[in-house]
Amino acid sequence: MINLKNHIVAVNGTIPLFTPINLSVQAGEIAVIMGTSGVGKTSLLASLATSSNVIFKNQFYVFQESHQLFPWMTVRKNLDYVCKKPYIDLVKRWNLEQYLDHQPPNLSGGQRQRFTLIRALCSGLSTLLCDEPLSALDGITGATVAKDFREIVHEENLTVLWVTHNVTEARIVGDSIYLLSKNGIKDITYEDDLIVSILSV
Amino acid sequence: MGWHVLYLVVQEPLIFPDSTTILFALYDLVWTAKFWLSLYYTMRTLLLSYIIGMFITIIIILFCLKYSWLKALFERYCAYFNPLPSFVLVPFMSLFMGLGAAVVYSIIIWNIIWQSGLQVLRSIESVHELWGKQVQNLQWSGTKALTKVYIPAAIGNLIGIASTGWANSWRILISLEVVFGSIGGYFGIGSYIIDVKSKLDIDQMYAILFVIALTGIIINSLLNRLKKKYSYE
């Protein structure tokens, strides 16, 4: 689980991006972080990956960039080197089995992102930090992948912090939804209209 | 064309021989066993000293990546020795080693270490930031990070450095052969040039120079193609 108490993220170690935040994400839960561009969502994730005062290990960071697979290896080798759990079922579920022996530069951004998510889910690590992991996918595929991702996270009891700008994606994937602003973090899971909530902040 | 015009203007076959006679000399050269043997000796010396030089360089770089004090020291020495043309070491090294093969090997190895070493270090260090993050993310370190990520990511640059290093070593070796004559009891392509020159066989001398230039171009273009193929950034 992730448990943040009075957590601060500062630019160059001096200027805080937002007021100290408290956030708790249980095992088997997906917490979605939303917020306007530049508010510090990616910095928050990065700080969790490197911070010494946050007590959790075994986290896997899914970066924003779609070219995270090593281009000098086939996709299969990329998965083999990282995955501790069998990945083939998930590859078939997302209709990607014919691309396993391709080099990553020959795949589309969306295909690469799905393989990156498979790598994260099968890495055997218990905490995933996902920074806009579906940004290169079209709406329908993104929604399908988000739904499947949510099921797997619940089955495997993983802890996930998921950053996105997409309201629909947040609703599909998130167990809880938080809005990050310079005034800190606000739980908007049960708000009727997320856009209105964001605008009000 | 330009050559032939010079030949017609100068009218001095010992300086600018007829281009057609050079072509005939080139044809004769192809059927001369002595030429192929000297080319083989040169290539063998070059390849052996190049492999030893690169091996030593890689060992130094591995230690530099592990120990920051060694990296600082290596950078300092590279700044000293890199601008120094390795040919100027010939008299100094000859004092210790005489005029044998050891000097030739030492000079080429010296050239590779100080000229390519810093570039190899920089190209590994400047691997795309994302790959560095991935290495941290996957909690890989040491040999695994180096062999699975840093070296493959930098391979395009490394081939480029190897290409420059090879071209320099090729030139240095031929110059040394011209100066030394026999190296370790063998006569390389540089010695062959001096041999035909002393017999006033100028056509053949130019034919050999043509082969040297052509070999350099072919190997460089091969390495450049490889560089393009394996550049990922």
Q: CATH code at A29?
A: 3.40.50.300
Q: Which residues of B touch A105 (CB under 8 A)?
A: 232
CA distance A49 to B53: 40
Q: Which of B133, B138, B232 sits opposite A71 (nearest CB)?
A: B232
Strand duo A159-163 + A176-181: pairing: unpaired
CA B191 to chain centre: 18
Q: Which of B133, B137, B149 sits opposite A70 (nearest CB)?
A: B149
Neighbour tally for B15: CB within 10 Å:
10
| pLDDT score at A53 | 45
Asked whether residue A155 is assigned to any structural domain, the reply reads yes
Phi and psi for A81 in degrees, rounded to 5?
A: -70, -25
Asked whether residue A3 is assigned to any structural domain, the reply reads no
Q: Which of A63, A70, A105 sits opposite B133 (nearest CB)?
A: A63
Asked whether residue A38 is assigned to any structural domain, the reply reads yes
> Distance (Å) from the C-alpha of residue B133 to the closest C-alpha of chain A?
9
| pLDDT score at B52 | 93
- Does an H or E element contain B211, and which? helix B202-229
Which segments within chain A are labelled E, that is strand? 2-7, 10-11, 15-16, 21-25, 30-34, 59-62, 127-131, 159-163, 176-181, 184-187
Q: What are the contacts of B132-135 at 24+ separation with CB within 8 A? A: B133/A61, B133/A63, B134/A63, B134/A68, B134/A70
Asked whether residue A111 is assigned to any structural domain, the reply reads yes
Q: For residue A134, what are the contacts with CB-CB under 8 A and spacing of at least 6?
A: A113, A117, A142, A145, A146, A164, A166, A169
Mutate one of A72, A80, A117 to test the B interface: name it (highest B CB count within 10 A).
A72
| CB contact B148 to A (< 8 Å) | yes
A63 lies in which domain range? 25-179
> Distance (Å) from the C-alpha of residue B153 to the closest C-alpha of chain A?
8
Q: What is the sign, positive or negative, of the torsion defined by CA atoms of B138, B142, B147, B150?
A: positive
Residues 107-136 of B with CB under 8 A from A: 130-131, 133-134, 136
**Cβ–Cβ gap B130/A67 under 8 Å:** yes
Per this entry, what is the length of chain B? 233
Chain B residue at shortest CA distance from A82: B138
**Cβ–Cβ gap B138/A82 under 8 Å:** yes
Mean pLDDT, chain A, integer: 84
Neighbour tally for B63: CB within 10 Å:
12
> Distance (Å) from the C-alpha of residue B26 to the closest C-alpha of chain A?
43
| pLDDT score at B18 | 77
Cα end-to-end distance, chain B, whole Å: 42
| Model confidence, pTM | 0.72
How far, CA to CA in Å, does B136 sit from each of A11, A75, A142, B144? 21, 20, 28, 12
Q: What is the pLDDT of residues A128-151, one digit of tens each?
A: 999 888 888 888 888 888 999 999
Mean pLDDT on B22-29: 84
**Cβ–Cβ gap A68/B130 under 8 Å:** yes
CA distance A192 to A182: 23
Structure tokens at A34: 């939303």
Q: Chain A: which residues have CB within 8 Å of chain B?
A: 49, 60-61, 63, 65, 67-68, 70-73, 81-82, 105
Q: Which residues of B touch A65 (CB under 8 A)?
A: 130
Chain B residue at shortest CA distance from A78: B148
Q: Which of B130, B149, B153 sits opposite A65 (nearest CB)?
A: B130
**Cβ–Cβ gap B148/A70 under 8 Å:** yes
Q: What is the pLDDT of residues B60-118, one digit of tens each?
A: 988 888 888 999 999 999 888 888 887 788 888 888 887 778 888 898 999 889 888 88
CA B16 to chain centre: 29
Residue B197's Cβ-count burial label (10 Å; 0-12, 13-18, 19+) is middle
Chain A residue at shortest CA distance from B145: A81
Q: pLDDT tens track of chain A, all 201 residues? A: 788 888 888 777 677 788 888 888 888 899 999 988 888 888 888 887 665 544 345 788 888 777 788 899 999 999 998 888 899 999 999 889 999 999 998 998 889 989 999 999 998 888 899 988 888 888 888 888 899 999 999 998 999 999 998 888 888 988 999 988 888 888 887 777 766 666 666
CA distance A120 to A62: 7
Cβ pair B3, B16 in contact under 8 A: yes
Q: Which residues of A touch B131 (CB under 8 A)?
A: 70
Q: What is the pLDDT of residues B161-208, one digit of tens each?
A: 888 888 888 888 888 888 877 777 778 888 888 888 888 888 888 888
Asked whether residue A200 is assigned to any structural domain, the reply reads no
> Distance (Å) from the C-alpha of residue A60 to the closest C-alpha of chain B?
6
Asked whether residue A16 is assigned to any structural domain, the reply reads no
| pLDDT score at A51 | 55
Residues 172-231 of B with CB under 8 A from A: 230
Q: Which residues of A touch B232 (CB under 8 A)?
A: 71-72, 105
| pLDDT score at A56 | 44
Structure tokens at B15: 């300086």
Asked whether residue A102 is assigned to any structural domain, the reply reads yes
**Cβ–Cβ gap A70/B138 under 8 Å:** no
For the CA atoms of A106, A110, A113, A119, what is the dihedral angle to 10 degrees?
A: -70
CA distance B58 to B123: 13
Asked whether residue A194 is assigned to any structural domain, the reply reads no
With CA atoms as reference, report the closest residue to B154 among B102, B205, B116: B116
In chain B, the percentage of residues whose pLDDT exceeds 70 is: 99
Domain count, chain A: 1
Cβ pair A179, A49 in contact under 8 A: no
Per this entry, what is the length of chain A? 201
> Distance (Å) from the C-alpha of residue A62 to the closest C-alpha of chain B?
9
- Ramachandran class of B116: left when φ > 0, alpha when ψ lies in -120 to 50, beta otherwise: alpha
Structural domains of chain B in order of their starting residue, each with its CATH number: 19-229 (1.10.3720.10)
| CB contact B151 to A (< 8 Å) | no
Can you tell me the ipTM of this complex? 0.72
Strand duo A15-16 + A10-11: pairing: antiparallel
